[in-house]
Each structure stands twice: as C-alpha cells, then as structure tokens.
Structure 1
Amino acid sequence: MIQRRTAVALLASPLLLTGCGGGAGATERRTPARRPAPAPTPGTSTQPASRATSETSAESAPRGIPGLGRERLAAIPERCGQAVVVTGRGRNSPLCTVVLHERTATGWQAGAAWPAHNALHGWSAHHLNGDLRSPLGVYTLSDAGGLLPDPGSRFPYHRSRGFHSPGTGFEGEPLEGSFDYVIAIDYNRRPGTSPLDWTRPLGPARGGGVWLHVDHGGPTHGCVSVAKAHMKDLLRTLDPGRHPVVVMGYADWLAR
C-alpha cells in the first residue's frame, strides 16, 4: 500500500511492519461478540415424488460455489456456513472481486460481487514478509476491529488508535481511513486476539497482519480491501456461530 518514495518513512509505523497490520495498539476497547443468529431452518421440497425427474433432481441438488474447484471446496469445513470468496484476476494482478456466500438448505447462495484490491504483486502459495503478495488459501475469520466505533459487528471488536493509517499508497492515493474497519484473516496469527496482536505462529518471516479492510483505491501489501460500506456489511453479517472463512486466490487457482 505504500508508495516506494515514502516506504522507508512509513515502515517506521508499527502498524505497517508486517502486511497491513502489525504492532499492538496504543489503547483498545474490546466489544464482545454478539449472540450468533440462529442458523436457517432447512426447507422441504414441495415437488411430488411421482413427478421427480433428472431435471428436477438437478434443480434441487445442493449448489456449490461458482469458480471453486473440488480441491478448494473440500478445504472449506463442513460446519462453515459463510464463505467470503476473493477471486483475483490473475496470479500477478492486484485486482480482485469479493463475494459473500451463505450456505442454505439447498447449497450456497451468492451475494453481490464487490470490486476489491489485493497485494501489489498478486498472490503467493508461500507468503513471505515484504513480498507484496497476498497468501493463497482458506482461512478462518474470528476477530475484527478498527479506528471507528463498532458498527454492529458479530465478531469481537477491538477499537484502537493503533489502527491509524498514515501516508500514501502505491498509486499516490491517501491511506487515511483504510483501517477504520478491519477483519483479521487468520493467516499466521492467533485467533481470539486483536488484529493488532503481534503473535506469529509460523514466525515473523512468513508475514502477518493480513486483513480485510477499507479500500483506499490501490493495491495493498497483502490484505484484501473493499469499499467502506461493504466492510460494514461484512461486519454486521459474518457470524462466528456460522464459522465463517475466507477463500482467497486468483481465479485459475481457485478453480482447481
């Protein structure tokens, strides 16, 4: 997210040392998770058994997630009821699309498609600190936070001045407000802690601080960014009781 001519100065900020997140916040107020909404009640078919045909069977078969191949679908836990799918345009592209899918009695239901950004250099199967690539994979989502007050998050919400985001991005765009709302992606972090927590189970060389956050109009260090209104939608919709995950990668990789 940092323009090369200002990178040295900006990297002095503890919030930008690893990916989009990093150091502990100065002050923090944690809002406990809201009580999960009850899971949808499974529906029943009204089609008479005597009229069942191959066509109607196909219509009633559980729907998968468009764009995800068998390998990626198999990586989504069975208990998962919500999946944020981030589809990159290419292995080296910083452009992507975000869609929230929710599991229903007949399969996965897709929400709206939102334009988004990922890391400047695209994607990596072995993300390293500073490689300017987003990590490929399926990761749980468990904690949120931001500079602004809790907008109604179902996740535990960690408000802190540590979410300040100064400077400019790779394309000269201002970064201010990028961390107004964030959701931590559980890549190389300890779930159940603030997105600002420094714990790196895989070691610091493997990066960390990979978040969903507010889009600033350009590529990121490793995070995925969407418009502020869409971040608020995610915070209000994603339910820890439904074990949400993010499935992220470029289209060809997701299709495997």
Structure 2
Amino acid sequence: MSVAVTALVTLLPACGTDTSGPVRAGVAAGSRGQAGPSPAVSAAPSAAPTRIPGVGGRLFRQIPRDSGQVVVVYGEGEDSAYSTVVLYTREGPEWRPVTSWPAHNGRNGWTTDHHMGDERSPVGVFGLSDAGGVLDDPGTRLPYNQDEAAYAPPDDWDEAHQHVFDYVIAIDYNRLPGTPPHDATRPEGDDKGGGIWLHLDHGDGTSACVSVSKDAMEFLLRTLDPAQDPVMVMGDRAELRA
C-alpha cells in the first residue's frame, strides 16, 4: 500500500474533505468541450430496460428511465478499498458492457450514510454532470473546467499523488450539478461530506472518491454524453445486489 493521503486543504474541496472554506477566486466557469471519438451509443428508447448485472432492484429503480450510459463501481467488500469500474451503454432495452478497469474507492470501504472524514465512499446512484482538471479538455461532451491552481494537489502530497487531479469528473453527491467540480456548495450541509470525484488512481484507497487509470479517465471523458443522462451506480457488491 502507498502512504495514506492527507486531508485536502480547504482551498481544494475534493474527495470528501472539509469544504467549509470559500471557493477560490478567479476560477472560470465550466465550458463545454468538443467531443472526441467514442463508441456509438443508441438513443435510450422508451421500452423498460433489462437489469444491469449485479445491480438489484433498490438501486436499479433509481437509474433515470432515459439514461443511456451507466458507470457501475463494484466494490470488493464493505471494508475494502478495491473495486472494478464497468461502463455500460443501453442498446434498445439491453444494457451492454463496453469496457472495465480496476479501481480504488474509499480506503475504509463503503457506507450508506457517508459523513465527512469517514474515508468511506457513499453507496448510491449519482449523476455525472461536470468535469475538470489540471490538464486541458481532452475532448469531452461534459462541461469542462480547466484550472491548474484550482485542481493542484497540496504541496505536501508525495509524488504518487501529484497527478491525481489531472482529470476529474464530479460525482453528484451533495453538490450542485451544473457547477465546476471544485464548487464548495453542499446542499445537505458540510457534515455529509462532498467533493467526491472520479479521478486518476494513485495505487491506494482514497478519502471517498473513486480512482482509475489515466487511460480510463480519458476514455470516460470522451465517451460520457450529457444527452445520454450518464449516472454512476456505486457500492460494495452486497449493497449493489440488494
């Protein structure tokens, strides 16, 4: 295991850390990028969809009926930091897997009642509506907020963590969709945590985020399409099946 990640500073509200501080001044609003090549995805039809493997009725019913893209995070166990991310697209009533990647989640595992500092990822169904990062827009359809200062990791983080926020996709847990990922607004209050992102992996568990390789992030950024109402279904396998 790599060294534990220290808590994020107030000026960088991400991965479930304290976000009570102000948003940094001078950060531009997200802009919509130009889409790059991506697999063809058919428009979501009105027919009732089939089930996604490993996702039980409780969470499946929370997926928007018109959603055409779902990213499922299959956590290995309630207290495990290891998981697998699978992208599904909808073809007619069928959910088809596109590709999958190894991933990490909160270093303490998963919870259905996430609170700031518990270092567990929240179980649930969440929108994927906004992206950003240190690097330039790689060609995404999502609104993209590029800002080196806003997404730079703290200076005291080790080398393994220096590029984790090169690309991020905000997971719509306790945040305002339609704002840049770094926006510190927490509709349910600061105690419920926030700033939970999909970001680059550093080889270990996170504070509450989900992390994948750079190749995986670039693929997702270029493939996720707001017109398909993409969502993330995430949790340990037992909770996902419930």
**Both structures adopt the same fold (TM-score exceeding 0.5):** yes
Residue 11 of structure 2 corresponds to which residue in structure 1? 14
Give distance in 2, aligned partners of 1:245 and 1:138.
7
1:175 equivalent in alignment to 2:161: yes
Q: Once the two structures are superposed, what CA deviation does each residue of 1:108-157 show, in whole Å capped at 9, x if it has no partner?
A: 01022200000010011110000000010000111000000000011000
Deviation at 1:162, TM superposition (A): 1.1
Which residue is equivalent to 1:241? 227
User: How many Å separate the matches in 2 of 1:230 and 1:20?
Assistant: 24
Q: Which runs of 5+ in 1 are unaligned?
A: 44-60
Pick closer, same or farther for the CA change 1:225–1:41 going to 2, 3 Å: closer
Cα distance, 1:62 vs structure 2: 5.7
Is contact 1:26–1:162 with CA below 8 Å preserved after alignment? no
Which structure's CA Rg is the greater one?
1
Give, in angstroms, the shift of residue 12 of structure 1.
Answer: 3.7
Cα offset, 1:166, TM superposition: 3.5
Q: Map 1:170-249 to 2 at 5 A.
A: 174-249=160-235
1:95 matches 2:95: no
Change in Cα spacing, 1:20 to 1:82, as seen in structure 2 (3 Å) is farther
What are the superposed Cα offsets for residues 67-88 of structure 1, whole Å, 9 maximum, x if unpaired? 1112221111101110000000
The 8 Å contact of residues 79 and 108 in structure 2, kept in 1 or not, is answered as yes
> AA paired with 2:197?
W
- State the secondary structure of the residue aligned to 2:129: strand
Residue 198 of structure 2 aligns to a residue in which SS?
Answer: strand
Counterparts of 2:79 and 2:92, CA distance in 1? 37
What is the aligned residue count? 234
Structure 1 residues 176-216: Cα deviation after superposition (integer angstroms, max 9, x where no partner): 10000000000000010010001000000000000000111
**One-letter code aligned to 2:109:** G
Q: 1:199 to 1:41 in 2, by over 3 A?
A: closer
Partner of residue 107, structure 1: 94
Once the two structures are TM-superposed, the CA of residue 41 in structure 1 deviates from its matched residue by 6.2
TM-score (norm 1): 0.82
Query: How far did residue 103 of structure 1 move?
Result: 0.7
Does 1:163 pair with 2:151? yes
- Provide the rounded CA distance (Å) in 2 between the counterparts of 1:70 and 1:247: 12
Letter in 2 for 1:32: R
Distance in 2, Cα, partners of 1:102 & 1:63: 12
Structure with a larger share of its residues in helix: 1
Corresponding position: 1:78 with 2:68: no
Candidates 27, 39, 42, aligned match of 1:40: 42
Q: 1:68 aligns with which of 30, 55, 61?
A: 55
Distance 1:253 1:229 in 2: 28
- State how far apart, in whole Å, the 2-side matches of 1:135 and 1:78 are: 22
SS at match of 1:64: coil
Asked if the contact 1:167/1:174 (under 8 Å) is kept, the reply is: no
Q: Percent identity?
A: 45
TM-score (norm 2): 0.86
Matched position secondary structure for 2:176: coil
Partner Cα distance (1:80, 1:186) in 2 = 15
2:31 maps to amino acid:
T
- Structure 2: how far apart are the matches of 1:235 and 1:127? 26
SS of residue matched to 1:115: strand
Q: Identify if the C-alpha distance between structure 1 residues 62 and 245 changes in structure 2 by more than 3 Å, giving closer, same or farther.
A: closer
- Letter of the structure 2 residue corresponding to residue 240 of structure 1: P
1:51 matched residue in structure 2: none
Mapped to 2, the partners of 1:88 and 1:104 lie a distance apart of 25
Structure 2 match to 1:55: none
CA distance in 2, matches of 1:2, 1:35: 35
Runs of 5+ unmatched residues, structure 2: none
Report if the CA contact (8 A) 2:15-2:209 is conserved.
no
What is the alpha-carbon distance in structure 1 between the residues aligned to residue 162 and residue 88 of structure 2? 29
